[in-house]
Every structure is written in structure tokens, then in C-alpha cells.
Amino acid sequence: MRGGWKTVLIFKALHILSMFAAVTALVGTEVFIVLAIWRRDVQALAMIYRLTRRPGPTVFGLFFLLAGIAFGLLTAATGGFDLLAGWLIAAYVLVAALILVNLSPPKQKVRKVAIEAMEAEAGQRPVEEVVRNMADVPMANYFITNVVLLATIIADMVLKPF
């Protein structure tokens, strides 16, 4: 170990804690959004979106995700890991995929409907219109994809299969 075992353990602990916080904040928020859309509950979706916008769980989740990535790289660098090991390359690809999924049109549609829900709650848009738009949100696509990607990243980090 290049950086000493204490340094590596500190970075590893910070990596694990940061990633745990990121997944909790990001997936937890999405669970409530998916439930509100599934139930076609405009008021709940408006409330969740209002509560989770900046500075909310999503911002904190992104902060912890970036911190976790940095601590993971520091762990690898100070622990003598090969940064081009197969399991790390798989993790890089999976994290990139996770980011792309969350920039994808289905995710943007969720945000659009959430904003519409807030407008409906404020009386600026008919509630029925938002309910119709909720039916068009492919919530399972982005939610299940996020959960599968996160679970695969965790399995890759723990099992180091390559």
C-alpha cells in the first residue's frame, strides 16, 4: 500500500459512507416520486418535487456521489490498486451509464411532470392535464434502470469479478 494502511482505510471508509449517503438520498427521492406518479397523485408529486429541489436531497445526493467517486479514486491510488483493473473499468462504465440515464428523456419527462404538478397545485394548470401527463411517464424505465445500475455497481465493488 503506497499511502499507508490508515490512509487507505480512511479513504475507503469515506468512499463507502459517501456512496451510501448518495444512494439513500437519490433512490429515496425517486421512490417517492415514482409512488406519486403511479398513484396519479398530483398534490404529492408537487410536494415531493418542492421538497427535493435545491438545496434538497438530490443536491446532497449528487454531492455525496461526486465525493464518493473522489474517495474511491483516492482509495485506489493510495491502496496500490490498478486503476485499469477490469472491475474498476466496469465501475467507470456503470457510473457513466447511471449519469446518462439520469440525463435521458424519460428522466426529463419526470421533471417536466413534477413542475406541471406544482403549477396545478398553484392553480396555473388543470389537474386533469397533469394526471394525463403522468400516465405517459415511463417511470419504470428510469427507476428500474437506476436501481439495477446501482445494484450492479455495488456488486462490482464488493465482488470485483474481473
> What pLDDT sits at residue 36?
94
> What pLDDT sits at residue 3?
60
Cα gap 71→73, rounded to integer Å: 5
The separation between the first and the last C-alpha atoms of the chain, rounded to the nearest angstrom, is 21
> What pLDDT sits at residue 62?
86
Q: What is the pLDDT along the chain (162 residues), one digit of tens a residue?
A: 566 889 899 999 999 999 999 988 888 888 898 899 999 999 999 999 888 876 777 788 889 999 999 999 999 889 888 889 999 999 999 989 988 888 888 778 888 999 999 999 999 999 999 999 999 888 777 788 888 998 999 999 889 888
> What pLDDT sits at residue 124?
96
Cα gap 78→2, rounded to integer Å: 5
> What pLDDT sits at residue 52?
83
> What pLDDT sits at residue 1?
55
> What pLDDT sits at residue 2?
61
Task: Classify residue 116 by its DSSP letter.
Answer: H
- Dihedral over Cα of 47, 29, 132, 125: its sign: positive
> What pLDDT sits at residue 67?
96
In 3D, which of 106, 35, 25, 105 has the Cα closest to residue 67? 25
C-alpha cell at 87: 472491475
